[in-house]
Amino acid sequence: MKKFDVINAILGERINNVPQSIATAFAPTNIALCKYWGKRDTELNLPKTSSLSITLDGKGTTTTIRVVDSSDNIIFNGKPIHSDSTFSRRLLAFLDLFRLKNPVRFHIECDSNIPLSAGLASSASGFASIVLALNQLYGWQLSLEDLSILARLGSGSACRSLWNGFVEWKMGLKEDGMDSHGYPIPKKWPELCMGLLLINRGEKAISSRSAMERTQLTSPLYALWPKKVNDDLLLIKEAIATHDFSLLGKTAESNAMTMHAIMLSAWPSICYSQPATLAAMQQIWKLRQEGLEIYFTQDAGPNLKLLFLSDEIKTVNSIFSDIDTVQF
């Protein structure tokens, strides 16, 4: 497996480290303004394009890993997770990558303050927090770049969750993906706000992994995506550098709408939007026509993330009563 080669290259002799008894780490989630959609290597989660996100400070997952004598078990938000569930199998398969030489058992507790699998990037903060916890547990002392590469092996977007603020995931060119990780963009934008508009807390019908694969294999429009991303990345970086909110909002919304349009053209079609998602989009477009500068982005789920500036917090909160707003 190529994953082991990457892990060996990063850990070297440290793969033999004996774990301490317990470690805890938090990682925030991130929302892409220019999306990652499609892979050039499914085993290593190497993307077809670069992508760019903003980290939601304080919203994410805390993971505690404890070494135990009994069998592996996982608790998510206080509830035991069945060992046959997709969540459990995916998590344990990831942990297995690191304990081949030293077969210990783990009790894992994940506490997330974001809804699981509803397109709110819970897997990004989940895998990033696991990697940070493992780094402590085994005393690896890895750089954030190396941790980003390891987090990517769990979930692509997790590689952007190792930093606060704006983060670019450069796709890299190397076959082993050693240059495909997060790069922080050292620019602040304190007036920028993101409001999480929850349409539905339920689990998504199709995982982003399967949806990406189906889109790449069947959509006649997928060939357009890499150029769209390259153009949008330039515009978003320019918007961040000059604090041009209209450019940022317009580009992020157009990027998300293009991604979803391409998914609609897959076969069978992939549609993460629900009637309430479309109603919210139409409400946002109407508000914009009326002069309120507000935009949205959407990931692999029905929920929307609203983009606006802090001057408009009161207005936006009065229109969308139950949004959860994060300021950068």
Interacting residues with ligand PMV (CB under 6 A)? 32, 35-36, 51, 121, 123, 155-157, 208-209, 299-300
Residue 289 CB, nearest approach to ligand PMV (Å): 27
What's the chain's Rg over C-alpha atoms?
Answer: 20
The least CB distance from residue 154 to ligand PMV, in Å, is: 9
Q: Going by DSSP bridges, is the β-strand pair 73-76/105-112 parallel, antiparallel, or unpaired? A: parallel
Query: Nearer to ligand PMV by C-beta: 51 or 251?
Result: 51
CB of 160 to ligand PMV, least distance (A): 8
Give 210 or 317: the residue with its C-beta nearer to ligand PMV. 210
- Any bridge partners for residue 79, and if so which? 76
Task: Provide, rounded to whole angstroms, the least separation between the CB of residue 50 and ligand PMV.
Answer: 10
Which one, 100 or 217, has the nearer CB to ligand PMV?
217
What is the smallest separation between the CB atom of 83 and ligand PMV, expressed in angstroms? 22
Helix (H, G, I), strand (E, B) or coil at 7: helix
**Complex with ligand PMV: residue 89 or 286, whichever CB lies closer:** 89
Which of 253, 299 has the CB closer to ligand PMV? 299
Largest Cα–Cα separation, the chain: 62
Print burial letters for 187-225: b (CB count within 10 Å at least 16), e (below 16).
eebeebbbbbbbbeeeebeeebbebbebbbeebeebeeb
Nearest approach in angstroms of CB 261 to ligand PMV is: 14
Instruction: Kindly state the DSSP code that residue 253 receives in the 8-state scheme.
Output: H
Q: Could you tell me the CA-to-CA distances from 274 to 4, 198, 200, 277, 298 in Å, in that order?
A: 40, 12, 9, 5, 12
The answer to whether the beta carbons of residues 145 and 160 sit under 8 Å apart is no
Distances (CA, A) of 37 to 116, 234, 258: 20, 17, 11
- CB of 86 vs ligand PMV, minimal distance in Å: 13
Minimum CB separation of residue 318 from ligand PMV in Å reads: 29
State yes or no: cis peptide before 268, omega within 30 of 0. yes
Task: CB nearer to ligand PMV: give 106 or 127.
Answer: 127
| Choice between 51 and 88, CB closer to ligand PMV | 51
Contacting residues for 96 by C-beta, under 8 A, at least 6 apart: none
Which of left, alpha, beta for 131 (phi over 0: left; psi -120 to 50: alpha)? alpha
Residue 185 corresponds to which amino acid?
I
Whose CA is closest to 31, among 155, 127, 152, 165?
165
Contact 326, 59 (CB under 8 A): yes
Decide whether 116 or 142 has the Cβ nearer to ligand PMV: 116
- Closest CB to ligand PMV among 35 and 48? 35
Q: How far is the CB of 14 from ligand PMV (least distance, A)?
A: 26
- CA-based torsion, 317, 126, 147, 303: positive or negative: negative
